[in-house]
A and B are shown apart, each in its own frame.
Chain A
Amino acid sequence: MKAIFTLILTVLMAFPSGAETIRLRAGQSIKEAVNNASDGDTLLLSSGLYQENEIIIRKPLTILGESFPIIDGRDKGNIFLVAGENIHFKGIKIINTGKSNMDDSAGIKFFDSKNCSVDNVQLENTFFGLHFSNSSNMTITNNHLVSTAEKEYQTGNGIHLWKCKDSHIEKNYVKGHRDGIYLEFVTNTVSQGNFIEENNRYGLHFMFSHDNSYIKNTFKKNGAGVAVMYTKNVLMKENIFEENEGPSSYGILLKDISDSEVVGNIFRKNTIGIYMEGSSRTIFKNNSFNNNGWALKLMASCDQNTFEANNFFANTFDISTNGSLVLNKLQENYWDKYEGYDLDKDKIGDIPYRPISLFSVIVEKIPSAVILWRSFMVTLLDRMEKVIPSITPENMIDNSPKMKPYDFGTTNP
């Protein structure tokens, strides 16, 4: 029985080997070619201009471009609509989709698909770039997405996944969209080595997306940084969050994130490095916080989080909070503002460090007081508070501050 089954399978497997490569010249209809192609064929697009939109693909096909043929949607609707398995895009350039929130116009839009890939595709001036819904095993690699919209409502998300799983988003570049990468109800997905900058809203935005990892991505100068919500079991490793500056901008905003790990990331020159609300049981380890306005804003609604072995350098304020309740743990971090001593030479300061200064409490309550920062009086108040703490939360304390910074092997300290 098993042998027969294997035989049938082999025959079936052998069958599509008759797949052809169909070559298209510039200006020829892709739609027609798709309709005439049989399963498993490859459409090879010669370089040039193809003016087409709403190309619907429902069978296994490979769309391959020769030195980036341009597919111009002429500002109308979607360009590719895909629903199927084993459909691959490679080496093409897609420009000018429609600009509509009604149908979420996209460069390539996948529905209910499986085992598809988009590799080395350039998208310019698309509303949504790559849009996936209810799909699995997607591979999204080496794509270059640039939108030039000035306002948030004029553009959609770069890489948008809704209700997808087991996918791979790697080495993409996204600029100028609303959200760089947007994930909702996405599970078991890895985002790695992406460079996301100057998007109008968030660099990375995910909600209800459990068990995902984000590794070695860079999020730079996005409108409001990175915001992630209502998710558990997330791994964020060795990402760089930098230069997210503005009144409502965060390196990363964590809202209701639990059981996650934030390890080895660099937060540089953000107004707020990490803003946390309602998050629990998350471990922050080996991160560097450099030159941020506030390295951490840890709201009192967070509990059982651990901050261990992080470096804090040259931040205006290390930590601020909004209440007196502290249910989180700080240990063995390096604080450049620590002024203690180490008599027993175990490289851990003998007196605890309190990362919240009196003035940061005041600024949290009355933001306009920030104008007095670094004045003699404020320095004096902070000193007094350090000697006799009365207003700052008593439990926000690192009992084992490191004397020397950790070397995480990153280029910038």
Chain B
Amino acid sequence: MFKLLKYSLYDIVKSRFAILYTIFMILVAVSIYQVSEDMSKVSLSLLNIMLMIVPLIAAVFATTHFFNNLEFTELMLAQPVKRRDVFLSQVLAVVIMLSAAIVIGFGIPMILWGADSTVLTLLGIGIALSVVFAGLAFLASVLTRDKAKAIGISLSFWIYFSLIYDGFVLYLIYSFADYPLEKTTLGLVFFNPVDLGRIIMLMQLDISALMGYTGAFFQNFFGSAKGILLSSAMMLLWMLWPLGVAMRVFRKKDF
């Protein structure tokens, strides 16, 4: 297992993409820190990166990695190692690389210019979303045989969660405006990891607006221990289930 992981990681680092991604993150973080003087503005700008770019790159990278390494995977499967280990080593390698890129990319500027709890939460959310979208990408990859198709599916996951889903929620809220929708919207949020991450951040950034009439309801929920526990549990579930399903498929897949 560790040997497999070691080789996979070695492979990823060699692919140069990892280094490019890290450099990209550093550049983004540095430029944001340079432009805005205020911590809350820094976290605002970073929020968009974390919610949009990070999932996109995680999805695309995980898919391409899976297919680029397909031959290596097939070779490994011919060896007397567990299929589970082969799969997990691939997944872990990708997740470690994506997280490392975020931590190094944002960590260095943070050490230089300081950070607060908001920015640290943001980092956590970025890592969680990387895992979620890597998981979804692996799921897409094991379900198809074609690289292009798999990338297509991963991208549609991304578009769905970051755009279409919110549109749907907005439409729903608009159509049923006459009804009390607080609990419904709260429930809907749990079915989208991007929204979940975004709202955890909202609780820290837009506290004043959320103290408004309806916002207070969300604030009460997400501010309470129960809410924090439930939302982290839900995020964890989002990180685990695509990978779980993907592993199940992978174990039975006929290569």
Chain A contacts to B: CB under 8 angstroms = 245-249, 269-272, 291-294, 314, 316-317, 362, 365-380
Contact = CB atoms under 8 A, between A and B. Distances in A.
B162 A376 contact: yes
Interface in B33-52: 38, 40-41, 47-48, 51-52
Contact of B212 (A269, A370, A374): A370
A293 B206 contact: yes
Given A247-B213, A293-B208, A368 B173 contact: yes
Interface string B169-207: 110011001000110011001000011001101100111
Given A247-B213, A367-B215, A377 B206 contact: no
A317 B214 CA distance: 15
B250 to A, nearest CB: 31
B209 A373 contact: yes
Contacts of A271: 208-209, 211-212
Contacts of B120: none
A29 to B, nearest CB: 51
Contacts of B41: 314
B166 A376 contact: yes
B202 A374 contact: yes
Nearest to B206: A316
B170 A368 contact: no
B201 to A, nearest CB: 8
A271 B207 CA distance: 8
A109 to B, nearest CB: 37
Interface in B16-46: 38, 40-41
Most buried by B among A245, A365, A370, A371: A371
Contacts of A367: 212-215
Contacts, number: 104
Minimum-distance CB pairs A-B, first 10: A293-B209, A293-B208, A316-B209, A367-B214, A377-B166, A245-B211, A271-B211, A375-B166, A316-B206, A247-B216
B185 A371 contact: yes
Contact of B170 (A247, A314, A369, A374): A369
B206 to A, nearest CB: 5
A176 to B, nearest CB: 21
Please report whether the interface of chain B is mostly helix, strand, loop or mixed according to DSSP.
Answer: helix
Nearest to A249: B211
B213 A371 contact: no
How many of chain B's residues touch chain A, expressed as a range? 35 or more
Contacts of B170: 362, 369, 372, 377-378
Most buried by A among B38, B189, B209: B209
Contacts of A317: 209
Given A317-B209, A365-B177, A370 B40 contact: no
B211 A373 contact: no
15 contacts: A247-B213, A247-B215, A291-B40, A291-B208, A314-B38, A366-B174, A367-B215, A368-B181, A370-B212, A371-B185, A371-B199, A374-B201, A376-B52, A376-B166, A377-B163
B114 interface: no
Contact of A374 (B169, B198, B207): B198
A292 B166 contact: no
Contacts of B189: 371
Given A293-B210, A367-B214, A372 B40 contact: no
B161 to A, nearest CB: 10
A270 B206 CA distance: 11
Nearest to A379: B48
A293 B173 CA distance: 21
Given A366-B181, A368-B173, 9 more contacts: A247-B213, A293-B211, A362-B174, A370-B209, A370-B210, A373-B209, A374-B201, A375-B166, A376-B51
B61 interface: no
Given A374-B47, A377-B170, A368 B212 contact: no
B39 to A, nearest CB: 11
